[in-house]
Amino acid sequence: MNNNKMALIYGFNEEEKALLDKTLTELQLPKYKVIEKNMANMKLKDIINGFMLDTYDKVLPEEKIILFNNFTDEELDKTVRRIRENKTIKPILAVVTQTSINWEFHYLVDHLLDEREQAKKYIQQKSK
């Protein structure tokens, strides 16, 4: 896996980015890289490595997503806790894995949305 420690974010407005900036600075973590809608067909590893390919043939949903690449367990724990403290921002949080680093961003988003729906169904069934 790539050694570039960073967060990758998608779907955040400027105010929300400022909150993330503050959190990452306070935790002494590197800044994030923004994934834009025109990067939907790019593989995560290419985004992490700073490549840029404009593609507009995939439509991405209006979601907020934060991906963590090469954070330690302790860094993840602290960062996730701080992000969840802010009740106005409710992003999907995920870790870049050895598998997902080779996925195109739109495919990962679809996968994360499916996982979220499955989790909701499981929680609903469990509460019955």
**Tens of pLDDT along 95-127?**
999 999 999 999 999 999 999 999 888 888 877
Q: Which residues contact 105 (CB under 8 A, 6 or more apart)?
A: 10, 35, 39, 40, 41, 42, 43, 44, 47, 60
Sheet containing 32-34: order of strands: 32-34, 6-10, 65-69, 92-95
What is the dihedral angle through the alpha carbons of 78, 83, 20, 42, rounded to the nearest 10 degrees? 100
Reply yes or no on whether the pLDDT at 3 is more than 90.
no
What is the model's pLDDT at position 28? 93
Reply yes or no on whether the pLDDT at 65 is more than 70.
yes
Q: 6-64: per-residue pLDDT in tens?
A: 999 999 999 999 999 999 999 999 989 999 999 999 999 999 998 887 776 778 899 99
Please give the tally of structural domains in the chain.
1
Q: Which domain holds residue 91?
A: 6-126
Q: What is the pTM of this model?
A: 0.89
Reply yes or no on whether the pLDDT at 2 is more than 60.
no
Residue 93 domain flag: yes
Residue 1 domain flag: no
List the structure tokens of 54: 């404009």
Largest CA distance in the chain: 48
Q: Indicate the burial class of 20 (C-beta count within 10 angstroms; 0-12, 13-18, 19 or more).
A: buried
What is the model's pLDDT at position 72? 95
What is the model's pLDDT at position 122? 83
